[in-house]
A and B are shown apart, each in its own frame.
Chain A
Amino acid sequence: MTVSNDEKWINKKISRRDMLKLTGMGVAGVAIGASGLGGVMKVMGYDVFEPVADSTTAVNKVDFYGKHQSGIITPVQTNIYFASLDVLFTSKKELQELFQQWTPLVVRLMNGELMVDLTTNTRVPTGDTGEADGLDASNLSITIGVGPSLFDKLGIQHLKPEELKDLPHFPKDQLQKEFTGGDLCIQACADDPQVAFHAVRNLVRTASGKVEIKWSQAGFNSFPAGGGSPRNLFAFKDGTVNPSSTDEKDLNKVVWVDKGWLKGGSYLVARKIQMHLETWDRTSLKDQEATFGRYRDSGAPIGKKKEFDDFDVEAKDSNGEYIMPDTSHVHLARKSGARILRRSYSYASGVMTNTGTHDAGLLFISYQKDPAQFTTVQNSLGRMDKLNEYITHRGSAVFACFPGVSKGSYIGEALFNAL
């Protein structure tokens, strides 16, 4: 098989029937020329940079190509599978090849297609593991980012943005190594848990020997029929003060990086926060509301009527007391003056073996143009936050999520152009 023939195949959508013809499998007993099969395997396999377009017919589909990666201002889906990976290689070239290999596969996953066409040979495992077969795209979004450790590992520290560094230690942090850090992240969000998991599973599988999963977390969100923000496992609405996904100007202020190779990208902060449900559940409603600074039922700030009502954090009642308690979560967060785009998911992962309590909580995820925005909020919460009594931060990671990909390009190209 010559190179030019390979290219011809790549540029053409090959149906299963064509494949049978190409490989001569339509005729029983015909031996296939060795080099010919090699060519076919390249097409069916993972190691070909074959541009794939966003499907125009797929239902429940989020587009891959665009100015920004999907999964940041994409309307929040019901499920997440978040994976933090370590790379096993040490060269920039291998990282570039990995992203080139992943790019067409990610588009296919987001199109709701099999990631790799079925092979004609049933004596080898299938290229796609298959559990999403028959499910539609389910609004799958894939967001890929790089962590600070990656730059050190590959010897490209000079390209590490100064903003990209491990978060400082915060009061009451109890970080565990097994939920912290990572060289790369894949955030897969979808309106179906299996579609989200399938995406991560298959991307990791195709990168066998190149990456390993350091930690991962599945999560869920449920949206009230009447609209408004989803409730976390403490039953309070989460994400109310997010910037609007249509307010370009505001997003530029809060979310999108505007300089360097990361221009058009964003920093992702992930925190695995255990929520002590048992202690929360024996707290009176009044105390719960004072802890958050909102009414549980409506989500309105204390002293207000509706979830999205604006409030003055410094407002006091006739007795000179803060209307929204000054130790409440919302009070302290607002007082910090910093803003972030929250995109969190709840998790329930079984039982804590040492205490027998629920292993449940929040996979907190936020996007911001500088991780310092998150740090400012978290420092403001500090030791004061009444919510601290009910939560423990167990995991932490920060990633620089690439800008969007235009057709013909690949994930992270801007980084490699900067090399």
Chain B
Amino acid sequence: MKKTSLLSVLVAGGILMTGCGNTDEAKKEDKPATEQAEKATVDLSVETAAYQKFALEQMDQFLLETEKFVNAFKAGDIEKAKAAYAPARMYFERSEPIAESFGDLDPRIDGRLADIKEEGKGEEEWSGYHKLEHALWVENKTAGYEAIADQLLADAKELHALVQTVEVSPDLMITGAVDLLNEVSTSKITGEEEIYSHTDLYDFKANIEGAEKIFEILRPKLEAKDKDLVATLDEKFKAVDDLLAKHATANGGYVSYEELTEENTKALAAAVNQLGEPLSQMGIILE
């Protein structure tokens, strides 16, 4: 879960733009780089439209799969609900730069108990996927959680509706790709995202796929600026994918986080960090 929202990115950008107009000369001397960069315009409308389409498709699937999960859960079918849990969440994780951009909705859908407590709220305010994860894997029951399941579906519908209105900016894509990797580095690789189901590798894979999608959309623009960077990114994405593939299961899923050795997680973390450095250079196309 991340708190940086799309709205705040857009608003911040707006303020900076406005600031440009009335800045005095002396201040320009101090910070030419920032202001000049804000003025540069590069047409990425094709790319942002492509990403928007991708995100909307992911959200469509997220809603469908969440509905399946909620139905299984409410029917009291614990095994079926468990099986639907991680795959449904992958659609959310893949499009997280957009999915997480609506203030209250992200914590309601994806909040972990630790996040809720950190905000000074009590357990009673905890809702969403991770609360149902706790019910399924720790309490091994669904009874008593029907209202939470209903709320999750309602929230997913609301998110789906809101996402239709999002305007994707180049900044959102470029920052989003790095943020997806940072998510992996800070919570997935430590097993702190799915502390009851230990399905962290599903989220891990989805985050990487989300970043890779952005890279793929930007590829032609990147190729025009820096071929070496594209080659490096191809190589580093492959390295992460190959490592993840080692932990795939026969049914297309991933092994439990608990089965990973310290050596495994260290190798995965290193591969993600080595991908993150070049990925953070994608901003060169904005200049």
Interface residues of A (CB under 8 A from B): 16-17, 20, 23, 25-26, 28-32, 34, 37-38, 41, 118-125, 205, 208-209, 212
Chain B contacts with A in 4-34, Cβ cutoff 8 A: 32-34
The 7 closest A-B pairs by CB, nearest first: A123-B283, A124-B283, A28-B39, A208-B277, A121-B287, A209-B274, A123-B286
Could you say which residues of chain B place their CB within 8 Å of the CB of A31?
42
Cβ contacts B248-285/A at 8 Å (1 or 0 each): 00000000000000000000001001100110111110
Could you say which residues of chain B place their CB within 8 Å of the CB of A32?
287
A120 touching B174, Cβ below 8 Å: no
A151, B128: Cα distance in complex, Å: 54
Residue ID in chain A nearest B286 by CB atoms: A123
Chain B residues within 8 Å of chain A by Cβ, number: 29
Q: Tell me, yes or no, whether B3 is within 8 Å of chain A by CB.
A: no
- In angstroms, how far is the closest chain B Cβ from the Cβ of A199? 18
A120 touching B33, Cβ below 8 Å: yes
Give 12 pairs: A residue, B residue, CB < 8 Å, sorted on A: A25-B287, A37-B225, A37-B287, A38-B226, A118-B33, A121-B284, A121-B286, A123-B286, A124-B282, A208-B274, A209-B232, A209-B236
Q: Known contacts A38-B225, A118-B33: does B40 contact A28 (CB below 8 Å)?
A: yes
B236 touching A29, Cβ below 8 Å: no
Could you say which residues of chain A place their CB within 8 Å of the CB of B32?
16-17, 20, 120
A123 touching B33, Cβ below 8 Å: no
Residue ID in chain A nearest B232 by CB atoms: A209
**Total inter-chain residue pairs, C-beta < 8 Å:** 73
A34 touching B37, Cβ below 8 Å: no
Q: Tell me, yes or no, whether B231 is within 8 Å of chain A by CB.
A: no
> Is chain A's interface secondary structure helix, strand, loop, or mixed overall?
loop
Q: Tell me, yes or no, whether B165 is within 8 Å of chain A by CB.
A: no
- In angstroms, how far is the closest chain B Cβ from the Cβ of A17? 8
- In angstroms, how far is the closest chain A Cβ from the Cβ of B276? 8
Residue ID in chain B nearest A26 by CB atoms: B36
Chain B contacts with A in 22-72, Cβ cutoff 8 A: 32-34, 36-42
A124 touching B33, Cβ below 8 Å: no
Residue ID in chain A nearest B236 by CB atoms: A209
A118, B280: Cα distance in complex, Å: 15
Q: Tell me, yes or no, whether B224 is within 8 Å of chain A by CB.
A: yes
B36 touching A20, Cβ below 8 Å: yes
Could you say which residues of chain B place their CB within 8 Å of the CB of A120?
32-33, 36-37, 287
Could you say which residues of chain B place their CB within 8 Å of the CB of A17?
32
Q: Tell me, yes or no, whether B171 is within 8 Å of chain A by CB.
A: yes
- In angstroms, how far is the closest chain B Cβ from the Cβ of A20? 6
- In angstroms, how far is the closest chain A Cβ from the Cβ of B280? 5
Q: Which of A16, A26, A123, A208 contacts B287 (CB 8 A)?
A: A123
A277, B174: Cα distance in complex, Å: 51
Could you say which residues of chain A place their CB within 8 Å of the CB of B226?
37-38, 41
A175, B36: Cα distance in complex, Å: 54
- In angstroms, how far is the closest chain A Cβ from the Cβ of B4? 15
